[in-house]
Amino acid sequence: MRPLTALCLLLLPLCATAQNIDSLWANYQNAGERTRVTTANELLTALETGRYAVDVPQYAEGDDDAVIEIEATTWMANYTFLRERYRETIDLMARVEQLAASRGDSVRLETAVYLIGYAWQRLGDAGKALEFSTRSYELCKAMGNEGRLSSVINNIANIYQTNDQDSIAIRFYLESIEIERRLGRTTQLATRLGNLSTSYMKLGRLDEALEMVTGALEIDRAEPRPDKIAARLKQTADVYRAMERYSEAENCLTEAIEYYEEAGSLYGMATSLNVMGEIAQLRGALAAARFRPGACSRTSLFRAAAR
């Protein structure tokens, strides 16, 4: 096949309809069964639907069919991932893994195993997710790619956190935070701090949880995105609520509602108002408990609030 300097890959953009995405995938499956998609031309024929052209400038003079297939298949895998078709993502990236390994291409191999691990995580298989994420971690270490390594470490921590192994998750979050501080990437640092706060809170380490989430909030305020600020304020309110510092929790929620309104998030506003209602119930239970001898334990307060 003649080398390509650029490739107009016929893929569906994110704004396309679900019907077109389904048609695209159906065409790909049919072509894959018929031709095994062994060349770039076959792959492009398989992907073609409508006239949605996307320039892919990374194809350089001399790139062969295998490289083109790797990149095009990776594009398809990302689209299926966004469509929450995770098993299809795994199958596609397994092909990328095979091609990249045969070429000794560590960068594309890491991309493949990372996305496979992420897809297994979404499917709820922690064992498979950790298996592939650990391989991704080792590849990033070997390549010396600290930015990517931090993302992989954070993802490993998320797997442990989801499975209530927060003591292990904390160790990984701290490692990722150290890298982000060194790289000076504030947006990623705020995300890691927020994640770490969640694990501390789950373990009842509330002072540390508050320290982390307020640090994340300070960073988020410096990068004015109302949706992110609102979500972080709500997370901060959750910590204050767990500490029974209800006035501070209500202040955070009141401010969060304003930011959710600015962002146009009715769901965020509704959930914040619901939490404020729950806090009001807890306040009422606390006030009532003062007049009932022996009713001041935490358990009795929550039982009273639930009635």
**Tens digits of per-residue pLDDT, 102-153?**
989 999 999 999 999 999 999 999 999 999 999 999 999 999 989 999 999 9
Position 123 scores a pLDDT of 95
Q: What is the mean pLDDT of residues 65-89?
A: 82
In this prediction, residue 298 carries a pLDDT of 43
- 91: in domain: no
- Give the pLDDT confidence score for residue 303 in this predicted structure: 45
Residue pair 44/71 in contact (Cβ under 8 Å)? The answer is no
Structure tokens belonging to residue 75: 């594009």
The two three-digit tokens of residue 13, written as one number? 């953009």
Residue 24 lies inside a defined structural domain of this protein: yes
Residue at 185 is within a domain: no
| Domain of residue 34, residue span | 1-66
The answer as to whether 43 is a domain residue is yes
Confidence class for position 288, pLDDT limits 50, 70, 90:
low
50 pLDDT more than 60: no
Q: Is residue 33 domain-resident?
A: yes
How many domains does the chain divide into? 1
- Is residue 26 a part of any domain in this protein? yes
pLDDT tens per residue across span 207-247: 999 999 999 999 999 988 899 999 999 999 999 999 999 99
Q: What is the pLDDT of residues 246-284, one digit of tens each?
A: 999 999 999 999 999 999 999 999 999 999 999 998 887
pLDDT of residue 284: 77
**What is the model's pLDDT at position 69?**
78
Does 119 reside within a domain?
Answer: no
Residue 10: predicted pLDDT: 33
Please state the pTM of the whole predicted model: 0.71
Place of tokens 């069964």: 33
Q: Which of 266, 265, 241, 244 is nearest to 253 (CA)?
A: 241
pLDDT in tens, 2-49: 333 223 333 333 333 333 444 544 554 444 433 333 444 444 544 543
* Residue 198: pLDDT band with limits 50, 70, 90: very high
Q: Is the pLDDT of residue 189 over 50?
A: yes
Residue 254 located in a structural domain: no
Confidence grade of residue 66 (pLDDT, cut at 50, 70, 90): confident
| pLDDT of res. 54 | 33
For the record, the structure tokens of 41 come out as 């031309």
| Sequence-ordered list of residues with C-beta below 8 angstroms from that of 263, at least 6 positions apart, any chain | 226, 227, 230
pLDDT at residue number 64: 66
- Contacts by residues 162-171 (CB-CB < 8 Å, ≥ 24 positions apart): 162/121, 162/126, 163/126, 164/202, 166/199, 166/200, 166/202, 166/203, 167/203, 169/195, 169/199, 170/196, 170/199, 170/200, 170/203
